[in-house]
A and B are shown apart, each in its own frame.
Chain A
Amino acid sequence: MSNTDTTIYRKIIKDGLWHNNPGLVQLLGLCPLMAVTTNFINGFGLGIATLVALVASNVAIAIVRHWIRPEIRIPVFVLIIAANVTLIELLMNAYFHELYNVLGLFIALIVTNCIVIGRAEIFASKNTPLHTLLDSTMMGLGFMLVLCVLGGLRELIAQGTLFSQAHLMFGESAKALTLTLGANYHGMLLAALPPGAFIGLGFLVALKNGIDTYLKQRSKTTPLKTAPLTTGEVA
């Protein structure tokens, strides 16, 4: 593996998880992001479904990218994505039926999720399958991360619990996973309602931007401190 390859991989990983995070920076796929994240497990479940759909369809698109004529690329992308999502939907219906019932329409709606078609158009149609595999995995993970954090936060504020419906995904034994914030906690229903999702996502975006600004300022000030020293020595 050459040096340029590692920098490309590193850039793809950083972009997907942080600098170009689909949930916090591109603000794509907001509909499922807002609607489903009423608790951690819902967010996690939809995150995984989106991740699998993203990876499977984008790798498929990257493989056949040379044979797709640019004039009809969008319908072809949509066909490939829809086929993959249908597969995932059937699999979830078979193996995670209860979670499938909770997430309902939003699994089928992954077809129209802007992240999937967006990455197909921006990345998969122009890059090798290997790069696409990494890119879509990282984008999917980045999206899943936001879904989980937002879902966890909203669940914590609205119900005072965490991982409350874990048994939908991990079987009956996972019921023990549920954390409760104390019996005296009055749930704040607002967090479970749509406004709570908007306010919560707003705070997450603000937090991300705040961290970025802080890091930028720190990297700006550190070289300044060392700069006069070196110039002084040269002089």
Chain B
Amino acid sequence: MNPNYTVAQVMQLVLLALIPGIALMLWFFGWGVLTNLLIACLLAVALESLLLYLRKRPIKPFLSDYSAVLTACLLALALPPYAPWWVIAVGIVMAIIIAKHLYGGLGYNAFNPAMVGYAALLVSFPLEMTVWPVASGGFGVLDFHSTLLQVFGSGFSGWDAYTHATALDSMKTGLSLHQTPSQLLQTQSMGLLGGQGWEWINLAYLIGGGWLLYKRIITWHIPVAMLLGLSLFASLFWLYSPDNYPTPIFHLFSGATMLGAFFIATDPVTASTTPVGKLVFGFSIGALLYIIRTWGGYPDAVAFAVIVMNMAVPLLDTYTQPRIYGQRRGL
């Protein structure tokens, strides 16, 4: 993290860098992205204030560092648009209360709060968490009224017609039915490179992430190592058998790859802090991402990969301490 910025400035810049991705998601999925973001942010700020009050901490300085808002935004963007309000609420409770404040608040949390919230939701509500709307473009499929029905009410009646399996999901199902990746890329839920719409969203996050690099909010180590780890494994298997494994490009531009690489894995609190540690951390996330996506039972794997590597961070940081000039090499 760049010492020239305060925590609040860093969080604000990261939020700004999310804007291109958010804008594209709005274009492809519509109002549901906005309701996700609004509900998550409101709840996160409310819970953050409540927890700070209960822990007898000053509320204003901690609340105005935007960390709760950023956590909420990352979680909201990872959730399927038009998620029911109670799904978002449970996720935010897990993220802010359990993953953040029970560990001691910002700076003390061992696990990425947004990803803990996401993982808890994914194992708790598999149905609600895997229903993604079709990325139709033109600000989505539902008008505002139907969105409210879907999010707050008992559900919009024709909702099923607007949803489909995500690209990663249909790729996995298709491959298990002995279809080839090139056949599958012709189907309806796929786009040019990755999932339909997803390639553009990933590109937008890539641009936002590049801007963060330019602003020196994050260093290159984690994103580059993570994308490298993912591409390396994907290329190896793709070269070995192009009929059974999709291309590395597909993996790079599907699901939450870019969001994960630039915004989630780079969380300054839970990521490794030494240069070598960052490289190992990022590379392992990329490798795990490929392994869980290909052979695991869940639609996307950024959350699990990040959480598993969060556990390894203390070890990585201990063994990769840079040598201080004039000191002996430690460990």
Stretch at the interface among B123-131, B178-186, B291-299: B123-131
Which positions 182-235 of chain A face chain B at CB distance < 8 Å? 186, 188-191, 193, 195, 199, 202
Query: Which B residues touch A199, using CB under 8 A?
Result: 98
The residue on A at minimum CB distance from B128 is A186
Q: Which of A188, A193, A195, A202 contacts B90 (CB 8 A)?
A: A188
B224 at the interface (CB under 8 A from A): no
**B120 contacts chain A at the CB level, 8 A cutoff:** yes
Interchain CB contact under 8 A, B98 and A186: no
Interface code B64-90, partner A: CB below 8 Å = 1, 0 otherwise? 000000000000000000000010001
Whether A193 lies near B123 (C-beta < 8 A) is yes
Residues of B within 8 A of A195 (CB): 120, 123
Interface string of B105-135 (1 = CB under 8 A from A): 0000000000000001001111010000000
Quick one: which of B86, B98, B102, B126 contacts A189, CB cutoff 8 A? B126
Query: CA–CA, A30 to B102, complex, Å?
Result: 21
* A190 surroundings in chain B (CB, below 8 A): 120, 123-124
Residue numbers in A under 8 Å from B102 (CB-CB): 202
Cβ B124 vs Cβ A188 within 8 A:
yes
Of all chain B residues, the one with the shortest Cβ separation from A199 is B98
For B86, the chain A residues whose CB sits under 8 A away are 186
Q: Which residue of B lies closest to A206 (CB)?
A: B102
**Interface size, chain B (Cβ < 8 Å):** 10
Set of chain A residues within 8 Å of B90, measured between Cβ atoms: 188
Output the residue of A186, A193, A195, A202 with the most chain B CB within 10 A.
A186
Chain A residues closer than 8 Å to B123, beta-carbon distance: 189-190, 193, 195
* A186: nearest chain-B partner, CB-CB: B125
Chain A residue with the shortest CB-CB distance to B121: A190
The interface size of chain A toward B, counting residues with CB under 8 Å, comes to: 9
Q: How far is the CA of A186 from the CA of B126 in the complex (A)?
A: 11
Chain B positions within 8 Å of A188 at CB level: 90, 124-125
* Docked CA distance A191–B121 (Å): 11
Q: Which residues of A contact B98 (CB under 8 A)?
A: 199
Q: Please encode chain A, from 77 to 90, with 1 for each CB lying within 8 Å of some chain B CB and 0 for all others.
A: 00000000000000
The residue on B at minimum CB distance from A184 is B154
Tell me the minimal C-beta distance from A35 to chain B in angstroms: 17
Q: Which chain A positions have C-beta within 8 A of B124?
A: 188-191
CB distance from A223 to the nearest CB of B (A): 25
Cα-based distance from A195 to B120 in the complex (angstroms): 9
Residues on B with beta carbons closer than 8 Å to the beta carbon of A189: 123-126
Instruction: Give A189 to B120 CA distance when docked, in angstroms.
Output: 9
CA distance A186 to B90 in the complex (A): 12
Which residues of chain B have C-beta atoms less than 8 A from A193's C-beta? 123
| Chain B 84-100 residues near chain A, CB threshold 8 A | 86, 90, 98
Docked CA distance A199–B120 (Å): 12
Shortest Cβ distance from B102 into A: residue: A202
Residues of A within 8 A of B120 (CB): 190, 195
Taking the closest CB of chain B, its distance from the CB of A219, in whole angstroms, is 22
CA distance A191 to B120 in the complex (A): 10
Shortest Cβ gap from A190 to chain B (Å): 4
User: Which of B90, B120, B124, B128 lies at the interface centre, i.e. has the most chain A CB atoms within 10 A of its CB?
Assistant: B124
CA distance A187 to B120 in the complex (A): 13
- What A residues does B126 contact at CB under 8 A? 189
Q: In angstroms, how far is the closest chain A Cβ from the Cβ of B155?
A: 11
Residue of A nearest to B116 (CB): A195
Min CB–CB distance A202 → chain B (angstroms): 8
Chain B contacts of A202 at CB under 8 A? 102
Alpha-carbon distance between A186 and B87 when the two chains are bound, in angstroms: 10
B 123-155 binary contact with A (CB < 8 Å = 1; else 0): 111101000000000000000000000000000
Residues of chain A lying within 8 A (CB to CB) of residue B125: 186, 188-189
Nearest chain A CB to B180 CB, angstrom units? 34
Docked complex Cα distance between A195 and B125 (Å): 15
* Smallest Cβ-Cβ distance to A158: which chain B residue: B124
A residues within 8 Å of B by Cβ? 186, 188-191, 193, 195, 199, 202
Interface CB pairs A-B, < 8 A, 19: A186-B86, A186-B125, A186-B128, A188-B90, A188-B124, A188-B125, A189-B123, A189-B124, A189-B125, A189-B126, A190-B120, A190-B123, A190-B124, A191-B124, A193-B123, A195-B120, A195-B123, A199-B98, A202-B102
Given A186-B128, A189-B124, A190-B124; 4 other pairs, CB 8 A cutoff: A188-B90, A188-B124, A190-B123, A199-B98
Please give the residue numbers on chain B whose beta carbons come within 8 Å of chain A beta carbons, in ascending order. 86, 90, 98, 102, 120, 123-126, 128
Query: Which A-B residue pairs are the 6 nearest by beta carbons?
Result: A190-B124, A188-B124, A189-B124, A190-B120, A190-B123, A189-B123
